[in-house]
Structure 1
Amino acid sequence: MTEYSKTNGSSPDPSDNTSPSLSLCTRLVNCAKDAIVLQDLQSRVLWMNRAAEDMFGWPLDDIRGLPGIGVILGADQSTEFEYDLQSPIFDRFVVARHKRRDGSEFWNQQTFAKVEPIHEDQTMMILVSCRDITEQVQTETALRQTQEELRHAAYHDDLTGLANRKKLQTYLETPLVRTALKHHQIGVLQLDLDEFKDINDSFGHAAGDGTLIHVAEALRRSSGPQDLACRSGGDEFLLICPKIATTDALITRADLLLKEVRKPFHWQDQTLLIKASIGASLATAAVACGEDLIHQADQALYAAKESGRAQTSIYTSELGRTQTTKTQLSRDIQTAIDTGQFSIDLQPQMRLTDNRITGCEALLRWNHPEFGQLLPLSFLTIARRAGVLADLDYRSMNLSLDALQNLREAGHDKIVLSLNASAEVMADRNYPGLLDWALQSRGLSPADVCIEIQETAILQPDAYGITTTVDKLKRMGAQVALDDFGTGYAGFAHMSFIDLDIIKLDCAMIARLEQDTRTLDIVTALIRLAHQLGMSVVAEGVETQGQLDLLRTAGCPHIQGFGLAHPMPASDFVTWLSAQSNVDCPFERHVPKAS
């Protein structure tokens, strides 16, 4: 454009139509969609095209000679600015927020070019090309915001806003966590809600979601600035706590978290009291990574659940070994059922009026190929969790009836066999019929068996189904006993709606007979009341002569326990019945006789 500049040193005017070529150039520049502004080195506006007038809202005649920076920034029009010819703006795009004449703002993408003078009496000029990129910037901003939202969603739980498992994995790889593990200064709390399903069932899933949000807020209030609170799934949460180096500090944090969780949660017109269990683990030299620490906290959580819930359990190596064994048993139990790893031991019951063996209880044993023989206490809960307890009960039933059939064939036709039945199998409407078929197929009678149900079974939500099963068993001719009576769950008031033949006094009560007169009074009263209700009594866990004498005085009709005999394989039981006088037991004055 300097080719057409005036030679008297004044500013060029591309609108001068003295030359056909200049007229064409002006028309072309005015047709450009980008704004073009010509300035001197002091940024004074010399000329601009129509697109620039539209962009800034200023006619050329109104701002010619004024500093352009004052126009585009809305500043004082006397604002001084001088171009630095060494500035990097001549080598790149410049994006800035500028103002139009009406005060509205827009994003301006500019390029700057130096216009060298042709004649000595001319000065350097600056050509500024401007483009309104407001829509593009807004689009990019929205895109970045969307990307940030997607990134946040990828690493956070939708409902609670806490970190999710993906965020947890990233966090465990940070230098903060690696350093804390190296110096054994990090702990993990794994929290699981107790009876969360009951909230969903009673108040609806919206209340369940509200409960999870309540717990998430409790975690936030209990978290330190470098901690990570995470919802690991369902109603399980994790709190990763760097900078914690002692068990006491970790338990203090757990207590604070439980206190926050237990704060009343108001849902509509209801106040819900939330309870939770926590498994806690602290880094030691044996912990190689964050996942190991979380696994330990998970094992401690299982222990807290098994110990009664609503508490904190801290991981120890002994606890870890116990939980590892239980995990293996959970994997093995179905195979054990399928391959016949279970067997039956029999423990005799003695009638005190004539010292005769009148019955025996069938006790299930798991002959594990690695751990040896396991008692029910070590695997029944595992079977229940695995959903195979009913299958195990039916397996036990058939093994027990096989043992009873062998007793009959050996000439012991008066022994009544007691079979343990879980709440799961008692809730099965087919159980009485399957038991009856199993008896008939062996030539046995329903009168030959007594079905033992635990005290807790009659307090189950489906207790009505259990009482229906009891009625069917009674109509068949079988006896029904309430096992472990006196553990504190139920009482005679709860038994008013269920027809029982026998109650079995729990061994914990019998163990206190000789030391606690109150226990003796209670046992004596229970025996008398049972007699009045037409029920018999079996005292379990009888081990000493003193216990036996007190039970005789109290009028207890039957006993069972190590003092009489330990449980034994069915084949050994037949031999034991034939040689009772040689049994080594404390009841030397009361040698039992075979029935």
Structure 2
Amino acid sequence: MAQNQRKTAVPLQAPGTWANAQAILGLVLDHTRDAIVVQDVEGHIEWLNPAAEAMFGWSLDEALGKKPHEFILPPGMRPTTERLKSFRYNLNSNLFGRYHLTEHQRRDGSRFWNQQNFSVIDLGPLDHQKKIVITCRDVTDQVETEEELRRVQVDLQHAAYHDDLTGLANRKRLSEYFASNLVSERLKYHGIGVLQLDVDKFKEINDTLGHAAGDATLVHIADALHAACDPNDLVCRTGGDEFLLVCLRINDPDTLMDRAERLLSEISTPLPWKDQTIRIGISIGASLCTSGNCTGEALIQRADQALYAAKNRGRGQVVLYTKELGRAQKAQQQLARDLKSAVAEDQFEVHLQPQLLLPNNKITGCEALLRWNHPVRGKLAPGVFLETARKTGLMAEVDYISMNLSLDALVNLRENGFPDMCMSINVSCAILADSNYPGLLDWALQSRGLPASSVCVEILETTILEGGDLDVVTAVDRLKRLGVRVALDDFGTGYAGLAHMSAFDIDAIKLDRSMIGRLEHDPRNRVIIRSIIRLCALLNMKVIAEGVETNAQLEILRRAKCPLIQGFHLARPMEVDAMINWLRQHTMPKAPEKQG
């Protein structure tokens, strides 16, 4: 029945009369956007409003006297004729007064999600005087959006524990594995073997045959490791071309070395790829715990030291950890002593890497990256010494040095023609746990005449997971009250990144370079990244893609409407003076304001 032909059952009467109230109610029901269905207690339709006619595709005349389940349920879900005939509403059930979500079918066969609310109108003591009123709303768009977000979260949670390319476990899963009761028991009473593998000259495979060949190599190694596994063993991809196999039931060196040698032989077999052959070489470090006096972490460290020795011996080797290799730890101890001197003698500087705002191709800020000017070894990147700083309790001091050097660099940029430049600063658990940190940061900003909004504090997602007693919510809140911006760094490498986005008042997330590196070759990864960017836009959060190394990656991110990028494709980290020159070549600096 066409809506313009329907009329309210009761015509308007004089104002104030009951009949007039009924007429007004009829008009409201006819024009409400929600679909309304009235039934008797046996489910027969007695009335539909126009919105219900439009929703289901059936007119009032056609539906009158029928039971909705005859035609609104998809064929496979419809009840039998006997059940339809015997149907009767139980007026005391929990059906009433609650929302119910059901998939229904329109007359044209299309399906939609119907949010329904059932209520009873009691017009008298008899059954025929009790009416069931159902209010319906099409919530298909909302349901599909929620399903998409759930799928993204499931993907991110899986990615938090697994390597995207090979499907192997990652370091996070490895940590949980060693903490499990099964593995702890083996460590304590029986023994465990660990094999650490690294692909020899993997960069040459990528450079000569392309990244697709490199990926095929990694998958080939992963498959071989899987095949060598016993039940309850664990295979991990722990780095770009690094793998680790935990052999849960091996407790003697001969058996462990035999497995390592077989892996070396199998993986080194030439791999056919397209019309070429990939020749793969690997080095393996092995460690064994048989006395119950070592931890999983110690086993991995020993295997890593053995792997280092294997590579130094000419690659393509298997080396078992020995006490002699343990002496290499002395070098690490020397590094710790050198680091303590470096903190006391200010042997640090910062290098800057620019960040590009894609919508207008404008450099809006830089990330400050700490470098150690070692008196013997030269400039050292943070990866060389930060773990040592953490273990020796120097992390907070290193963080404060980095903070002050970063702010000095920002002043330098602003005084040299770039007054709108911002700076991103990395922080650790150690400095976040310091209740004095916000005050010291505030003083450092004010003493340099810098606005708080010019600084973005980057917190690693792993900092949230491994912070121990650190109250990250409170730490972030202190920084936000100060006026600085806060970003979640390396998003996608930790567990439940979406949960972190909702739990902490952050301004931006930085997509981890491991996600960006897969953009060109992994459609599924592109879908995940586009979904994250859309979700962040809805939450008014910026997204920064780090590790952008190719123009193809940049254009994919541009099409996905990613706001900011940084990476080698734009520029490598550089000293402050070099950054000023770089900015002058790539932007037009503003003239400094004249002092009155």
The structure whose Rg is larger is 1
TM-score (norm 2): 0.48
Relative contact order (C-alpha < 8 Å, sep 6+): which is higher?
2
